[in-house]
Amino acid sequence: MDRRTTLAMAGAALLAPAAALAEAAPNIQPDREMLVPVPGGRVYVRINGDLAAPKPPVVMIHGGPGGSHGSFLPALPLAADRAVILYDQLDCGLSEKPGAPANWHIPRFVDELDAIRVALGVSRWHVLGHSWGGTIALEYAARHPRELASLILQGPLISTRAWMDDAAVLRAKLPSDMQAALDACEGPTPPAKAECDAAVDAFYARFWRLRPLPAWATAYEQKHGLKLAVNIYNAMWGPNEFRATGSLANYDGEPLLKRIAAPTLFLIGDSDEVTPETARRFTSETPGARLAILGDAAHRAQSDQPGAYVATLAEWLAKQDQP
């Protein structure tokens, strides 16, 4: 571990109040919500906290492709200190669903994010992108450096080749029978769907999310009908987290890392789909970047360790608020 890496364990002592807030059910009702016009349609945006407050807000970009803002509910305690902006990408969650594949490309998703900023009257903000959302955040940072107070890349998709390399490393850590099942499921004569689903679920249980969602988060997602937009996921990514067959199959944003001018934090779980080794390489390629690794957490670190997650972000954001 080098001087640019922080191992953020659950219950970070210096930020215990923020951590305690995150462990309980936060106030999940938005202070404002709206549909914002963006290229291709209108997207759902919700705000907790005051956008007019002195501290720059943080906007959180969900993963997928095809996820929703529900994944960030555990981060809402951050709104005690600054505005938290959550949104659903076009064709996802509570946003409009034109269902046009012509909209499913990176530049449009980047333009979508800045259209939200303009509509909310935000001049400068912290941008956090998780997983596929990290791709949008990276591309946004390269195109809109003046609007960034800081950049947080959480378990990010920076390069599909790197993601596939990590997936191979992680699959090798599964029990041998699960590895064999996954191999067979990808072969010409796959076994029964139930067997394949069980093998995929074994991977997810180790590296995607270690713990089930709390009841309050599940109830929110069910109430609002939040679920993966499978059409986008399959078209842009593929059948599962470790098989890229869609339009992102050849994506490589790694050359952009050296162009990032904003203070940058890489944030992963110690059992993330982005391995610590890969995260350290990305961090070293990004000028002045830092890396935080949350203990006992997988790809959905905000669900696995909400206290440490909020504490780590609160500390980072506070240090980067000044121009």
Q: State the DSSP H helix or E strand holding residue 154, giving kind and residue range, or none if neither.
A: strand 148-154
Q: State the DSSP H helix or E strand holding residue 183, giving kind and residue range, or none if neither.
A: helix 176-185
Q: Which of 1, 14, 5, 23 is nearest to 305 (CA)?
A: 23
Distances (CA, A) of 256 to 229, 246, 248: 28, 22, 16
Q: Answer whether 127's CB lies under 8 Å from 59's CB.
A: yes
- Residue at token pair 């992963």: 268
Beta carbons within 8 Å of 10's beta carbon, 6+ residues apart:
19, 294, 295, 296, 305, 307, 308
Judging by beta carbons within 10 Å of its beta carbon (0-12, 13-18, 19+), is residue 25 exposed, middle or buried? Answer: middle
Structure tokens at 285: 């390629």
DSSP letter (8 states) at residue 1? -
Q: Answer whether 79's CB lies under 8 Å from 49's CB.
A: yes
Instruction: State the alpha helices, DSSP H only, in 104-152.
Output: 106-120, 132-143
| Residues designated as active site | 131, 272, 299
Q: Which of 258, 305, 51 is nearest to 158 (CA)?
A: 258
Q: Answer whether 268's CB lies under 8 Å from 274's CB.
A: yes
Quote the CA–CA distance of 97 and 76 in Å, as a whole number.
26
Q: Answer whether 50's CB lies under 8 Å from 83's CB.
A: yes
- Residue at token pair 């016009």: 37
